[in-house]
Amino acid sequence: MRRIKLDKIDRKILHDLQSDGRITNVELSKNAGISAPPCLRRVKALEEAGYIKGYFARLDPQLMGYGITVYAQIKLNSQSETDLKKFEKQCNDWRQVRECHMLSGEVDFLLRVVARDWEGYQAFLTEHLTAADNVSSVKTMLLIRSSKERPGVPVDTE
């Protein structure tokens, strides 16, 4: 992955793609003020340099049957690199865990977990999470509602 210096056009492309991953190359190039072929080359270069990590659709959890979202704070008994990586691998294997973040401070990991209902989360908690090697405690916070969800990062286009 080679690092490239972002100019104003690259930042505009990144801003627009982050806002709408389905934007056509023609629309993207028009917004960026360049023709379509160089725009496509820039997008490919941004992908290769790692600025663009992927494209996906944001699904509605409720409509997909996942009525519960929980944030779980995980504390481990050991913070050796081997144990940290082992826990991260387990999180990657658990389909209900949608995000796993290692933190500094009193808590080692913050997980975002989805479940169909509260009983489904409790089953995941007891059968997988608290049963995992090295987990010393789990603090659960039930999501009530989200008033803002923005993917990615702010992109300055000026």
The domain segmentation of the chain, as residue ranges, is 8-48, 68-142
Mean pLDDT for the chain overall:
95
Q: Is the pLDDT of residue 3 over 80?
A: no
Q: Is the pLDDT of residue 149 over 60?
A: yes
105-142 pLDDT, tens digit per residue, is 999 999 999 999 999 999 999 999 999 999 999 999 99
pTM of the predicted model, to two decimals?
0.86
The answer to whether residues 21 and 56 touch, using CB atoms and an 8 Å cutoff, is yes
Specify the fold of 68-142.
Alpha-Beta Plaits (3.30.70)
Q: What is the pLDDT of residue 151?
A: 85
- Assess if CATH 2.40.10.340 describes domain 8-48: no
Q: What is the pLDDT of residue 130?
A: 96
Q: What is the pLDDT of residue 1?
A: 55
| Within this chain, domains 8-48 and 68-142 share the same CATH topology | no
- Average pLDDT estimate for 60-82: 97
Q: What is the pLDDT of residue 2?
A: 66
